Amino acid sequence: MSNLFVELKTPITGPYKQPTGLFINNEFVEGVEKKTFEVINPSTEEVICSVHEATEKDVDIAVAAARKAFEGEWRRVTPQQRGVLLLKLADLAEKNLDLLAAVESLDNGKSITMARGDVAAVVGCIRYYGGWADKIEGRTIDINPDMFSYTRREPIGVCGQIIPWNFPLLMLAWKIGPALATGNTVVLKTAEQTPLSALVFAQFVKEAGFPPGVLNIISGFGRTAGAALSSHMDVDKIAFTGSTIVGRTIMKAAASSNLKKVTLELGGKSPNIVFNDADIEEAISWVNFGIYYNHGQCCCAGSRIYVQEGIYDKFVEAFKKRAEQNKVGDPFHPETFQGPQVSQLQYDRIMGYIQSGKEQGARVVTGGNRHGDKGYFIQPTIFADVRQDMTIMQEEIFGPVCAIAKFSTVEEAIKLGNDTSYGLAASVHTKDLNTAIRVSNGLRAGTVWVNCHNILNHALPFGGFKTSGIGRELGELALANYTENKSVAVNMAGKLF
Ligand code: NAD
């Protein structure tokens, strides 16, 4: 086996061949500078393997491959054929669901049950955009009896896509689905913490029959490969998911290079608002899922919980019992709900927030410590009686930590819910239809869930108000982020008028 593949095994799949190279032009290659970096198993803190690292020169090569494909073979592929290719890719991902999910659990630490759900969502998302490929339509618009005018929706060109580590494969699917359906080509950079599943997936891109250069997948760091991609003069659009701070850097890079189009899906501090009349058991299940799903590493995690005063004490007590039942541990155990945080850095950041909550006087209801003595595991943590100005109520923690506070009226709930620079998501728990709609309308967030949380679907647009982002992913709206509108006006009179 060359150094572009390594034999690995997972507890549920047995040995498999893990690609480690940069996937450019449908082949795995080494980086120009021959650098590699280690990938860590967050459950054991041991090295899984090393992968090849893209530097600026590799970004240039990948972008050139994407440009050549965009202006060559890919342009001649019909929309129907693009759809068929995406459907084949989805079929291959589905056929290999167990392997992809196992690699995701190994590398990211998410429970195998959740990882299987992620891969099923990847399949659904790619299939959904496969269905859109031949439904990208313009309009005819009458402006004058002597003119024939119409709009066309054309691909933007070469798209750079930078994704995070919390849903490595699902973020890839959200990005490549609309980009490829609309006829763009792509250079996608995975997060340095979790490059493995995307490299396994890359093999299916070639097997499905995509022409070389249409989808290139590179592993590398943000400050080198990510910065090179977002400031590249031959990249027409950059799409990013990750922290708000890096989102700002990417916008600046786009602005000071070729003014490439930018879409951003950034952080959040989503409120979960529970009214006195809510079905308390159901509300607790959703609040629990809202914050602890994916170990709190969700941009839409319901990390601020506002509970109406009539049920506050009862809610906190019952939620404590529920959170303590969440099984934390080995991601490959079928009953595990919460695995480790993704990295030492994230572990340290989260423990720092827990410390700040304690120091600022919030009440620890449960958790607040490390779980076990190996791996980046953190106990599900609840802080109650949290003041609005405390750091844990204001900043995105991105871990299994939530802050609870009390409110009395509908107006106060809306005011508290909106008291953040973010605006990604929110949820409302009530049996009263009027309250549900009044609060949903009042909240400045891209998604509002009523009597649920973290319900995402490829058909429903997702994205943020305020500092949570620019543009929308998923659904039909995502297609607009990957197309340019061209207005064509034909003078049928054949003379100056
Ligand atoms: P990050 O924003 O630094 O990393 C996300 C992606 O951006 C990675 O692929 C990274 O390599 C790349 N990147 C980093 N710096 C870059 C740069 N200068 N130019 C171009 N690309 C760059 O996130 P992180 O450090 O891994 O996590 C920090 C915090 O970000 C988390 O604690 C969490 O609050 C937030 N976060 C949000 C999401 C989300 O889904 N919105 C995902 C991951 C992290």
Report the separation in Å between the CA atom of 191 and the middle of ligand 1, taken as the mean of its atom positions. 8
Q: Summarize the confidence of residues 111-131 as an average pLDDT.
A: 98
| Helix or strand (DSSP H, E) at 271 | strand 271-274
Q: How many CB atoms lie within 10 A of CB 326?
A: 17
Task: Report the nearest-CA residue for atom 28 of ligand 1.
Answer: 243
Task: Report the nearest-CA residue for atom 32 of ligand 1.
Answer: 398
For residue 265, indicate whether it is catalytic: yes
Q: How many CB atoms lie within 10 A of CB 366?
A: 17
DSSP per-residue letters across 95-110: HTHHHHHHHHHHHH--
Report the separation in Å between the CA atom of 192 and the middle of ligand 1, taken as the mean of its atom positions. 10
The one catalytic residue among 104, 265, 396, 473: 265
Task: Report the nearest-CA residue for atom 27 of ligand 1.
Answer: 243
In a 10 Å sphere around its CB, with 0-12 CB exposed, 13-18 middle and 19+ buried, how is residue 47 labelled? exposed
401 residue type, one letter: V
> What percent of the chain is helix, strand and coil (3-state, nearest 5)?
40, 25, 35
156 φ/ψ angles, rounded to the nearest 5 degrees:
-75, -35
Predicted local distance difference test score (pLDDT) of residue 494:
83
Residue written as token pair 């939530």: 402
Dist. CA 135–CA 133, nearest whole Å: 6
Model confidence pLDDT, tens digit, residues 298-319? 999 999 999 999 999 999 999 9
Q: How many CB atoms lie within 10 A of CB 80?
A: 10
Closest CA to 343 of 109, 53, 36: 109
Most distant CA pair in the chain: distance in Å?
82
Dist. CA 457–CA 478, nearest whole Å: 13
DSSP per-residue letters across 367-392: --SB-SSSSS-B--EEEES--TTSHH
Dist. CA 56–CA 232, nearest whole Å: 9
Predicted local distance difference test score (pLDDT) of residue 350:
98
Dist. CA 444–CA 360, nearest whole Å: 28
In a 10 Å sphere around its CB, with 0-12 CB exposed, 13-18 middle and 19+ buried, how is residue 150 labelled? middle
Dist. CA 380–CA 363, nearest whole Å: 14
- Nearest atom in ligand 1 to 221's CA: 11
Instruction: Enumerate residues lining ligand 1, CB below 6 A.
Output: 162-166, 189, 191-192, 221-223, 226-227, 230, 241-243, 246, 249-250, 265-267, 299, 349, 396, 398
- Nearest atom in ligand 1 to 267's CA: 41
Model confidence pLDDT, tens digit, residues 253-292? 999 999 999 999 999 999 999 999 999 999 999 999 999 9
User: What ipTM goes with this model?
Assistant: 0.96
Q: Summarize the confidence of residues 474-482 as an average pLDDT.
A: 97
In a 10 Å sphere around its CB, with 0-12 CB exposed, 13-18 middle and 19+ buried, how is residue 439 labelled? buried
- Nearest atom in ligand 1 to 189's CA: 9
Instruction: Answer whether residue 495 shows pLDDT above 90.
Output: no
Model confidence pLDDT, tens digit, residues 186-239? 999 999 999 999 999 999 999 999 999 999 999 999 999 999 999 999 999 999
Instruction: Answer whether residue 1 shows pLDDT above 80.
Output: no
Please give the angle made by the CA atoms of 288, 290 and 292, to the nearest 5 degrees. 60
**What is residue 403's three-state secondary structure?**
strand
Dist. CA 468–CA 268, nearest whole Å: 6
Structural domains of the chain sorted by starting position, each given as residue range(s) with its CATH number in brackets = 5-266+470-485 (3.40.605.10), 270-457 (3.40.309.10)
Dist. CA 346–CA 334, nearest whole Å: 25
- For helices 168-181 and 79-95, the axis angle rounded to 10 degrees is 160
Dist. CA 488–CA 358, nearest whole Å: 62
Task: Report the nearest-CA residue for atom 25 of ligand 1.
Answer: 243
In a 10 Å sphere around its CB, with 0-12 CB exposed, 13-18 middle and 19+ buried, how is residue 130 labelled? buried
Ligand 1 probe mutation, 107, 108, 162, 232, most atoms within 8 A of CB: 162
Predicted local distance difference test score (pLDDT) of residue 376:
98
Dist. CA 405–CA 382, nearest whole Å: 11
Predicted local distance difference test score (pLDDT) of residue 14:
87
Dist. CA 66–CA 72, nearest whole Å: 10
Specify whether the CB–CB gap between 165 and 108 falls below 8 A. Answer: yes
Q: How confident is the model at residue 245 (pLDDT cuts 50, 70, 90)?
A: very high
Task: Report the nearest-CA residue for atom 10 of ligand 1.
Answer: 222
Model confidence pLDDT, tens digit, residues 69-98? 999 999 999 999 999 999 999 999 999 999
